[in-house]
Amino acid sequence: MAKFLVMPKLGLTMTEGNIANWRKVEGDSVTMGEIIFDVETDKITKEFESPGEGIIRKILVSEGTVEVLKPIAIIGKADEDISALLAEAEKAVASPVASATKPDVPEPPKAEQAPVKPATGGRVKASARTKKIAAELKIDITQVTGTGPQGAITEKDVNEFAEKAKTTQPKISPTAGVIAAGLGVDPGQINKDGRIMKADVLAFKQNADFLKYADPQEFTKPMSAMRKIIASRMSSSQETAATVNYNQRVDTTAMKQLREELKSTAKITYTDILVKILSRVLLEFPLLNSAIVGTDIVTRNYVNIGVAVALPDGLIVPVVKFANKLDLGAISTEIKALAEKARNNELETDEITGGTFTLTNIGMFGMESFTPIINQPEVAILGINTIIDTPMVVEGQVVIKPMMNLSLTADHRVVDGSVAAQFVARLKELIEKPGLLLL
């Protein structure tokens, strides 16, 4: 039996999806589980699998945004009557909401016919006398706009054009005029208040030749659904939160040593260790792990840490759920699995929602400091920077230490400066003495 394929609801908060790419065309046969099209949501891009077997009889929406559970195609048998489904689909399109966008507006009055300018090289509508006057005044009559019947050029049009040419003709020295003519430069295009001299013509010509050589061009492409969401959410976050930035330099000697000691057992990264440390410290400072709901502050007894992953077309933040209950090995395994799924576009909606705090690491790009933007509705985000060998004074001696900057952004509506400072100080303590995690 023929039926609609509808825009799937991929998450509790999803209200619409964008059809990014059809894998099938009308008339193609599909089997259950076969990929039919790609759906872009405000969070991820997912492949839509066919819920059954049949023929793609009609594609109702080839591209664009569609509300969830709205029909986008019809699937059925090759010889099946789908007229009822087509009628139902047309009725949905011709809804009151759609018709409301086309109110009855009286047509504006027709504008008076504008003067007609003859095409270059075409027949000029002008009397012999008018053409003679134009020739005597050395005017190219094809450049004159006619105001006479059917665009005919009158003597008045020619005389007015000549007067206008006199007032707009720039003052130019004889030498500059000869050079301009030889180089094909129109003095009228040279922007100068005083008299145009030889140097002005040469400079204009040089700049024109350079622009031709440079061949400047601009290219425009529409934002992807992911980029639109990133733009919207980052702008909204900046407008919503009263952000304050905090930077702290920490010694990573002990953290590097811990990573080295575990290398034979597990491939632990600095991000893994930092997530483990954060899962402890965020419970000690619950305001950094909170959210604002209306006029209430919601705190938690659990920590869900989002770890930002860069993608070719944007950024996505998979979430390590209940990180406070996971050991370092389990955190490392989870982060690697989520990052792999993110790069392969295989994340489920549940894996990118529910975060309480975000960690973003761009240290691998050599960044020494930055100001990350809070991932709403969270109230803080921690940025990790590169590790740099830095001369430090220790007990009166200059020694080289691997130093790293922590970049915290916190929402002052919830987190006061003293609380943020204590939070960062505690992070610093555990990074420099990770053995304290065992206590």
Instruction: Tell me which residues are annotated as active site.
Output: 412, 416
* Residue 34, token pair as written in the block: 């076969």
| Cβ neighbours, 10 Å, residue 308 | 21
Helices (H) and strands (E) in the chain, counts: 11, 18
Q: Give CA–CA dist 283/325, Å, rounded.
A: 11
Q: What residues form DSSP beta bridges with 401?
A: 390
DSSP class per residue in 252-290: -HHHHHHHHHHTTT----HHHHHHHHHHHHHHHSGGGG-
Question: CA 401 → CA 12, 218, 388, 394, 395, distances in Å?
Answer: 48, 46, 8, 10, 13
Instruction: Look at residues 31, 35, 33 and name the one whose alpha carbon lies nearest to residue 23.
Output: 35
The owner of tokens 């944007």 is 314
Could you give phi then psi for residue 185, rounded to 5 degrees? -100, 130
Distance of CA 124 to the CA centre of its chain: 52
Hunting for tokens 């209200």 — which residue is that?
A: 15
To the nearest 10°, report the CA torsion of 255, 261, 264, 266: -30
Helix or strand run (H / E) with residue 55: strand 54-59
